[in-house]
């Protein structure tokens, strides 16, 4: 059974091109599922056969997730991971019936992303104003994040050649290994240029290679490292609520739409495969829409 899980994970990486984070989530979820099956029925241990897993076993697993107190979002993800595995096994001919066919996932309400205000953005971007290598780096990272709306994984994966300072754009590889070019404003270009000339040379080392953003050891900055840096900067900016690198992505999209950018353009910049994913941001611009309505409608 574990071998089949490994084959499925390899399939998600090689053929579907899923991100390492998504594959890691699949691995954790399915390891838990296999462990549960072994405790549910001794014949369904790691060396058992998937053909012996029936709908009752899957239903018991779902009940176990409830009993453990997982949130709706987490349970929905774990059930989805299980369904994906059985779809793969069915396509590969390893099973002749999908035991998850009639299993429904928990309904998860879509929470609206919370964007920073323009004043909060200004406060945050003004925090790293020193002349240390870290200040130059942090200023460049914040400017690039807000200028492009790229994901934190895409940010820390950038190499020096991925930001064109002459043409003012960032090249990044998104989900599914899809490349996109994103224009960035001149303040971001200036911040990156200053970092490359006055910050990065002072912290680069043998392991730096072509990585754009480095930690103090001269190695490529990690997602976790970026999160900690942003947390500290937000505290210094006096931002009380919790923010993450994704908050800047939300803010980028919201402020563009509030400024009148077409939804399709924002979809392309964010790298969303479906416009329905981008449409969640339209709810955040209702205040802007009302203001425009009241300003322009003859009877408003």
**CATH at residue 139:** 1.10.443.10
The reply to whether 233 and 153 lie within a common domain is yes
Q: Which residue among the candidates 77, 249, 250, 255 is catalytic per the annotation?
A: 249
pLDDT at 271: 84
Predicted confidence at residue 78, as pLDDT, reads: 92
Note if 175 is an active site residue. Answer: yes
Give the number of domains in the chain.
2
CB 204 within 8 A of CB 134: no
- Domain of 51, in residue numbers: 2-91
Report residue 163: phi and psi, to 5°: -115, 115
For residues 138 and 235, state if they share a domain. Answer: yes
Active-site residue, 151 included: yes
Helix, coil or strand: residue 128: coil
Same domain, 127 and 234: yes
Helices (H) and strands (E) in the chain, counts: 14, 3
Question: Would 107 be classed as within a structural domain?
Answer: no
Please report whether residue 124 resides in a domain. Answer: yes
| 148 in the same domain as 79 | no
Q: Quick count: other Cβ atoms within 10 Å of Cβ 155?
A: 22
Indicate if 137 and 218 belong to the same structural domain: yes
Tell me whether residue 292 is in a domain: no
Q: Has 187 been annotated as catalytic?
A: no
In a domain, 211, yes or no: yes
On whether residue 298 sits in a domain, the answer given is no
Q: Which two tokens stand for residue 242?
A: 């919790």
Is residue 78 in a domain?
Answer: yes
Q: Is 290 a catalytic residue?
A: no
pLDDT at 15: 77
Q: Which pLDDT does position 282 carry in this prediction?
A: 63
241/126 same-domain check = yes
Residues 81 and 44 placed together within one structural domain of the fold: yes
Alpha-carbon span 168 to 174, nearest angstrom:
19
Single out the residue in 222, 246, 270 at which a domain terminates: 246
Choosing from 83, 168, 175, 288, the catalytic residue is 175
Residues 162 and 239 in one domain: yes
What contacts 8, CB < 8 A, 6 or more positions away? 26, 30, 84, 85, 88, 89
Report yes or no: 102 and 84 within 8 Å, Cβ to Cβ: no
Distance CA 150, CA 174 (A): 9
Residue 15 belongs to domain with CATH number: 1.10.150.130
Cα separation values, 11 from 89, 97, 128, Å: 11, 20, 43
**Full pLDDT tens readout for the chain, 300 residues:** 788 899 999 988 887 888 889 999 999 999 999 998 888 887 766 566 888 888 888 888 887 887 788 888 888 899 999 999 998 998 888 898 888 887 776 666 555 557 899 999 999 999 999 999 999 999 999 999 999 999 888 999 999 999 999 999 999 887 767 788 999 999 999 999 999 999 999 999 999 999 999 999 999 999 889 989 999 999 999 998 888 888 899 899 888 888 878 878 888 888 887 676 676 666 555 555 555 556 665 665
Note whether residue 67 is domain-resident: yes
Q: Looking at 151, 200, 220, 255, which residue is catalytic?
A: 151
Claim to verify: residue 128 and residue 26 sit in the same structural domain: no
Active-site annotation holds for 281: yes
φ, ψ of residue 284 in degrees (nearest 5): -80, -10
* 162 lies in the same domain as 78: no
Domain boundary among 75, 91, 107: 91
Catalytic site includes residue 220: no
* Domain C-terminal end among 34, 56, 91: 91
80 and 127 housed in the same domain: no
**Dist CA 130 CA 126 (whole Å):** 10
The answer to whether the CB of 4 falls within 8 A of the CB of 11 is no
User: Does some domain include residue 16?
Assistant: yes
Residues 230 and 123 in one domain: yes
Active-site hit among 27, 171, 246, 288 = 246
Terminal Cα-to-Cα distance of the chain (whole angstroms): 65
């Amino acid at each position: 059974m574990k071998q089949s899980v490994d084959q499925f994970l390899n399939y998600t990486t090689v053929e579907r091109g899923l991100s390492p984070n998504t594959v890691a989530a699949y691995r954790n979820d399915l390891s838990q599922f296999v462990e549960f099956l072994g405790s549910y029925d001794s014949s369904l241990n790691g060396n058992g056969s998937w053909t012996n897993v029936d709908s009752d076993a899957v239903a018991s697993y779902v009940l176990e997730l409830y009993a453990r107190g997982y949130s709706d979002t987490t349970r929905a993800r774990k059930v989805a991971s299980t369904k994906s595995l059985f779809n793969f096994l069915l396509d590969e001919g390893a099973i002749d019936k999908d035991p998850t066919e009639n299993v429904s996932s928990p309904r998860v309400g879509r929470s609206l992303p919370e964007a920073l205000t323009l004043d909060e953005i200004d406060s945050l971007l003004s925090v790293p104003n020193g002349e240390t290598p870290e200040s130059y780096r942090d200023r460049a990272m914040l400017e690039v994040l807000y200028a492009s709306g790229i994901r934190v994984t895409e940010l820390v994966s950038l190499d020096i050649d991925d930001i064109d300072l002459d043409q003012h754009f960032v090249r990044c590889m998104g989900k599914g290994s899809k490349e996109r070019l994103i224009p960035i404003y001149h303040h971001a270009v200036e911040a990156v240029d200053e970092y490359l000339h006055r910050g990065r040379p002072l912290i680069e080392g043998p392991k730096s290679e072509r990585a754009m953003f480095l930690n103090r050891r001269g190695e490529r900055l990690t997602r976790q490292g970026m999160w900690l840096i942003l947390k500290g900067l937000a505290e210094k900016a006096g931002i009380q609520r919790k923010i993450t690198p994704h908050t800047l992505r939300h803010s980028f999209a919201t402020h563009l739409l509030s400024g009148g950018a077409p939804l399709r353009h924002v979809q392309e910049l964010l790298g969303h495969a479906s416009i329905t994913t981008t449409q969640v941001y339209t709810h955040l611009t209702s205040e802007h829409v009302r203001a425009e309505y009241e300003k322009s409608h003859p009877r408003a």
